[in-house]
Chains A and B, each alone.
Chain A
Amino acid sequence: MLLSFPTAGGLAKQVPAWPERRVCRSVSNAHDIALTPTRQREPREVAHALRARPDPSRRPRSLYLHVPFCFHKCHYCDFYSIVDSRDRQAAFVDRLDREIQAIGALADQPPLRTIFVGGGTPTLLRPDLWERLAASLRTNLNLSNPDLEFTVECNPETATPELFDVLQGAGVNRLSFGAQSFNTAHLKTLERWHDPDSVPRALELAHAAGIRRVSLDLIYGIPGQTLDEALDDIERALALGVTHLSAYALTYEPGTAMTARRDRGEFAEPDEDLEADIYDAAVARLAEAGLGRYEVSNFARADHECRHNLAYWRQEAWLAAGPSASGHLHEPDGGSHRWKNVPRLDSYLRDDFEGLAPVIDYEAPDALRLVAERIMSGIRLAEGVDRIAILDAADRAEPGAAARLQAAEREPRERGWLLERDDRWVLSDAGFLFADGVARRFLGVLRKVGPG
């Protein structure tokens, strides 16, 4: 003490005269995952992966495009999107075109099976820009598959006959509408700006334009929402004749306005029991209407599943373009590359690596990691996971891993959450609500998984 001269200057003085009540640091919070923004890097490995030639069954047959514009930020949303005040739509489409060219030049060219354009609000792109984007896809990629599923996410408020004609002309044959709720008060809670009546109108326009396959997104568990109100949303969706429906429990993502409002005490998170009751009732009602649950939160008539999302959940390979888009490509000998394009539009527009975008969160091939991910996402599907194939892959990745997986399957099976059917692990009806618990159980024995 006092023997040396302090070097730091006087610091801001903001001391409570009494210590503020302090509680030990929070331990774990399901929602509170902070993906520390890794510094962006050159997409060197991505270029390498695009050039690699894995066996034909593992070549990318899907493409995700991200359009980052919205006219307003919904409070629950943590997708990368911005309210663009500088009109960078044309610059964005130029840049996206270069990225698509680069991908087309590097990648093997089997015909694509699925394209999904998400956002943001892709339908905010002006029709002329949509035409340019469609041309870019046609020129650079193989769209020869007559069975191509081409989905665009659509905000019902943005639907116009002109836009839908352009989309239809571009080959779009599936629209996914963000309805979220038909109740104005609940839409207001979410700060989701659209008139619920715009949803049926948009569906009619789609129909008129000849786009036959439509899906609706709903959110339940909105603060203040009752069981009956949630089921009423489902009825309204069914009444519109949709053949695909996604119903997501409202999730409080870190950094969103919704989470901040909850933390400020503006409203309470709904009771877990209520959410589970809504879920169970929705599953039953949708099944009765012919929409089977094919993933935890996704329901469809037979053959109306979203094939693009199925490719994700089955951990197939897919291409990705646009800010914040995540891609996945297999190595010829097991393992896979994962990356995410830089999210910030500024960086995306500015930094150009022979057309490719800078990446963040790059993960190098790791066969054991891929096993964990196949279980993690596959278990959420009604079809489940091919048990034999997984055990086989696990042992090839790390001898002994299969035995550990077999030991891990015991507990969820005893609880009645996990079944073995035709050599596949599938969740029981009760098990769907515990999919994460089951996945954690398996992940726990695949220790090497990921760095942190």
Chain B
Amino acid sequence: MTDLQIRNFSIIAHIDHGKSTLADRLLQATKAVSDREAKEQLLDSMDLERERGITIKASAVTVSHERAGESGPEPFMLNFIDTPGHVDFGYEVSRALKACEGALLVIDASQGVEAQTVVNAYLAIEQDLEIIPVLNKIDLPSARPDEIAMEVEQVLGLPAEDCIPVSAKTGQGIPELLDAICTKLPAPRAPKIKQARGLIFDAVYDDYRGVVIYVRVFDGRLRIGDKMRMMGLGRTYQITELGKYTPKPNKVKELGPGETGYLVAAIKTLGDVRVGDTITIDHDPAPEPLEGYAPPRQMVFCDLYPATTADKKGGDFEEMREAMGKLALNDSSFTYQTVHSEALGFGFRCGFLGLLHMDIVQERLEREFDLEVVQTAPTVPYKVDIRTKGGEVEEIEVHNPADLPDMSSVIDIKEPIARVEVMVPKQYIGDVMKLALDRRGIYKNQTFVSETRDLLTFEIPLAELIFDFYDKLKGITAGYGTMDYEVSEYRKDQLVKVDVLINGEPVEALSLITHRDKAEQRGRTLLVRLRKQIPRHKFEIPLQAAIGGKIIARETIKGFRKDVTAKCYGGDFTRKRKLLEKQRKGKERMKNIGSVSIPQEAFMAVLDTGE
């Protein structure tokens, strides 16, 4: 019997290529769960994850496996992390990779290499991980493992013959995959120092135990009862519980070098923990922390307000504040702060990793906290150089067009630029090029993938990307195009703020930042949308879009001509009365700007790019 060997790896892939299903099969093949317990996507435990069928949080488990060696069975401990496939949660992937030596790169054998396959593979290569390409879904009649293996070689430079064909559905190929994991993936590096060092790669909040930290130990040992210290924040806590998810939580006494597990230490809020920080032992601390990672960057911001206008901070606003606090406990990448808007009253400016993240938070607010919210159009964070009163240049970050200082003090507005990978069937390349250029994109590169597909690389301003680029891409490629992006830098451009005036009054919640060349079109489209969404009033309402006081577009909502239903529904007056009541309530729920009532959905009109 040989010594226990450890392998740490992440499962990465394009969305829906089967990571979570493959994780299920690994659990089953290693008897971590019985066949009876094996349900679909075991590691997706949030309601929303199971309902949407996607993984949102990375999750780590430990299983044991025996490889048949020449001199008898060789025991292995496999720690693996299922990661989310959606680009918004790329951050989760990066930090999962930091805790590993290897990665299973899962590729759907009928779909082939997709944009996120490429981006995720790059992430793994950047961190020097050993990659095992896994061709999944070979049970499908449409599977083309040989061709896809060639794509892997062509695009990612991984030898085609290294690909392991499997079916996460039927279990075919799983034993071979387990073998490869044991054989090909490197063992954890040897400890470099004798003092303990563990990397915090995730943290979640649990109602009963407080914060649960996910830790990967690189050096030394963590033991129950030890007083640990988080090196970055300098806080110390007593370790009360250590364990591994198998996937049931399984308590252990200590975690040694190379091991991955969880740690509980009576930490009350997620705010007390920084993912990426290093844990050491207080009485014998490591001289240097491990290399950590930067905190997640919120790349999409929007305001959320209670549906009933809160003129004072009370009622629904308080309820919403409480809900925000609870959400932030579970989701450290979501930020919020109080804001007040003339039109919408008190609410919150929230930061998200991306649009899906925003959607998920909003959905949780409504579902778990039963709140009705009004959402303003999402924007990206801008960096703005301004001249202060003293004359110096200062850079500020602006998360909402309304916060942009007076244009006379603005020197430059810089916007986030994304490096975008688009996987596209060859016949659509021209259309995709045009779409990217229309969105102020810069063409960077074209890579041959196979006879039928190419990988295009662009730099596109994030603001042009987040709204409907993906929908448009799907539209022009008959659904076959895929994309992924990473924000690479900030760049200045001719950006302007467009103000919207309703009945002569500026409405900050409707203002937007856009490129000068597009300002007029955006302004006009926005006004047309508003004209359709704001009901006619008893008087005429002028709508205007302006840049720094100069009107660039105008529309008018005519005063209404009629407000009467033709029929009285025979003798059914219950129905007629309920209809009138409902209309009256609808009016009450609108937001009032001066004497104009604006329906809540009008605040999303800014999203319409008019293309």
Contacts and interface: CB of A to CB of B under 8 A. Distances in A.
Interface of A: 1-6, 8-15, 17-30, 33, 35, 64, 118, 248-251, 272-273, 275-276, 279, 296-297, 312-313, 315, 318, 320, 325-328, 338, 340, 361, 363, 369, 372-373, 376-377, 380, 415, 432-437, 439-440, 443-444, 449-450, 452
B8 interface: no
Identify the 8 closest CB pairs spanning chains A and B, nearest first.
A28-B586, A10-B40, A13-B53, A276-B561, A433-B562, A326-B571, A18-B470, A437-B563
Q: How large is the interface on B (under 10, 10 to 19, 20 to 34, 35 or more residues)?
A: 35 or more
Nearest to B358: A19
A3 B568 CA distance: 58
A17 B471 contact: no
B206 interface: yes
A3 B249 contact: yes
Interface string B578-601: 111111111101100000000111
Contacts of A20: 471
Contacts of A318: 571
Nearest to A295: B568
Given A6-B42, A11-B51, A327-B571, A17 B564 contact: no
Given A9-B39, A433-B562, A443-B580, A1 B204 contact: yes
Contacts of B54: 15
Nearest to A338: B574
Contacts of B563: 433-437
Given A11-B50, A21-B471, A326-B571, 20 more contacts: A2-B204, A3-B249, A5-B45, A10-B39, A10-B41, A15-B52, A17-B16, A17-B470, A23-B601, A26-B601, A28-B586, A28-B589, A248-B567, A251-B565, A313-B568, A320-B571, A361-B575, A369-B577, A432-B564, A452-B581
B280 interface: no
B406 interface: no
B245 A2 contact: yes
A358 B522 CA distance: 56
Contacts of B245: 2
Given A35-B578, A376-B580, A452-B581, A436 B86 contact: no
B528 to A, nearest CB: 14
Contacts of A320: 571
Given A24-B601, A338-B574, A443-B581, A17 B566 contact: no
Contacts of A272: 536, 560-562
B50 A326 contact: no
A312 B571 contact: yes
Nearest to B43: A2
A1 B59 contact: yes
16 contacts: A1-B57, A10-B39, A13-B53, A17-B85, A19-B358, A21-B468, A22-B359, A28-B599, A30-B565, A272-B561, A326-B571, A361-B574, A376-B573, A376-B576, A433-B562, A449-B581
Contacts, number: 201
A443 B577 contact: yes
Interface of B: 15-16, 37, 39-46, 50-54, 57, 59, 61, 85-86, 204, 206, 212, 245, 247-249, 355-356, 358-359, 372-375, 467-468, 470-471, 482, 536, 538, 558, 560-568, 570-587, 589-590, 599-601, 603-604, 607
Contacts of B587: 28
Contacts of A373: 573, 577
Nearest to B469: A18
